[in-house]
């Protein structure tokens, strides 16, 4: 079984890792639904250019992953969902005693609860088709912690737990559910953390990148969005039919330490 002709829904896919995953799935022949909370001409233009580049059908559907009804509507509007990649995510860095409650709520909603809603909406379609793949983009922070990231670490550990539960509930049904745990990938989300980290650690940009961000990534290299996308395509291949309920780290050795 290949992804050719399958329909893949990738949440939070108008930039960064989500877009990289969408690119690799389209390159492998899947039809793709792109998503974010915006509804701008450039979002739809992105879908058109991806379709043209890879000769597959690509649609952009606006839906806010902080809202349960939007999450479920995304899957319903897609009409078909063979591959679900729960990727939408946001970050905020602050000590727990100064962590704004609205930031905590937003991170838990977008990084964790959205996957509950999209997975619940997509599983009946997958069961009907007798085949399905749920891939959750967790993080090295789904397996380990860092200071100042209480909400993010909680959400990512939560999604690793949900991955195992969904795998057990779908075992033997032609459906798998796994989590990919990237280390640092240079995307807008990481770029946005640099000024906050510079403030928290009182360091300049280069020192924060080398000493703080990549300090725990033994390769001292960022992972790429193509590598994350390639791992998703592998998890959708027949070779991965019996891989379910697990995590795959793409982190340059971070969690080996
Ligand atoms: P990014 O900021 O480039 O992309 C995040 C995507 O989510 C964007 O498309 C954004 O529009 C979308 N999004 C944000 N809020 C949304 C909402 N309310 N509704 C719908 N879409 C929304 O960030 P990224 O680095 O590509 O992160 C993607 C995922 O990868 C996240 O879950 C993140 O936690 C995870 N991750 C990233 C890294 C990294 O180093 N970049 C490492 C580990 C895990």
Q: How far is CA 138 from the centre of its chain?
A: 6
Cite the beta strand spans of 56-215 per DSSP E.
Answer: 58-62, 83-86, 132-137, 175-182
CA of 200 to the centre of ligand 1 (A): 22
Residue 64 token pair: 């806010």
DSSP 210: I
pLDDT tens per residue, range 141-152: 999 999 999 999
Query: Please, what is the Cα angle at 156 between 166 and 68, to 5 degrees?
Result: 65
- 3-state class (DSSP) for residue 107: helix
Q: Average of pLDDT values for 6-32?
A: 98
pLDDT tens per residue, range 216-235: 899 988 899 999 999 999 99
Residue whose C-alpha is closest to residue 21's, from 111, 85, 74, 80: 85
The Cβ of residue 141 has, within 10 Å, a number of other Cβ atoms equal to 23
Place of tokens 């959708």: 236
pTM over 0.75? The answer is yes
Q: Which DSSP string corresponds to 39-59?
A: --HHHHHHHHHHHHHHTS-EE
152 catalytic, yes or no? yes
Task: Evaluate: CB of 178 within 6 angstroms of ligand 1.
Answer: no
Residue whose C-alpha is closest to residue 1's, from 164, 251, 236, 248: 236
CA distance 104 to 230: 31
Task: Evaluate: CB of 16 within 6 angstroms of ligand 1.
Answer: yes
Mean pLDDT, the chain, as a whole number? 96
Place of tokens 């709520």: 105
CA of 172 to the centre of ligand 1 (A): 31
């Amino acid at each position: 079984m290949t992804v050719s002709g399958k329909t893949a829904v990738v949440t939070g896919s108008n930039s960064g890792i989500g877009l990289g995953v969408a690119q690799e799935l389209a390159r492998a022949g899947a039809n793709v639904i792109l998503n974010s909370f915006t509804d701008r001409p450039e979002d739809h233009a992105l879908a058109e250019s991806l379709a043209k580049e890879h000769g597959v059908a690509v649609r952009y559907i606006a839906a806010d992953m902080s809202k349960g009804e939007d999450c479920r509507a995304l899957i319903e509007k897609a009409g078909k969902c063979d591959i679900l990649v729960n990727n939408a995510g946001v970050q905020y860095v602050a000590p727990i005693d100064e962590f704004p409650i609205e930031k905590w709520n937003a991170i838990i909603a977008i990084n964790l609860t959205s996957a509950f809603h999209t997975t619940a909406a997509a599983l009946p379609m997958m069961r009907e088709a007798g085949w399905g793949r749920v891939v959750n983009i967790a993080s090295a922070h789904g397996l380990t912690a860092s200071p100042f990231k209480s909400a993010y670490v909680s959400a990512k550990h939560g999604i690793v737990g949900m991955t195992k539960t969904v795998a057990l509930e779908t075992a033997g049904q032609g459906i798998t559910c796994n989590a990919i745990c990237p280390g640092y990938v240079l995307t807008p989300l990481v770029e946005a953390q640099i000024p906050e980290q510079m403030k928290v650690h009182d360091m300049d940009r280069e020192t924060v990148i080398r000493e703080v961000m990549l300090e725990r990534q033994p390769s001292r290299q960022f992972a790429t969005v193509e590598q994350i996308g390639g791992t998703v395509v592998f998890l959708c291949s027949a070779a991965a039919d019996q891989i379910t309920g697990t995590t795959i780290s793409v982190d340059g050795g971070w969690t080996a330490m």
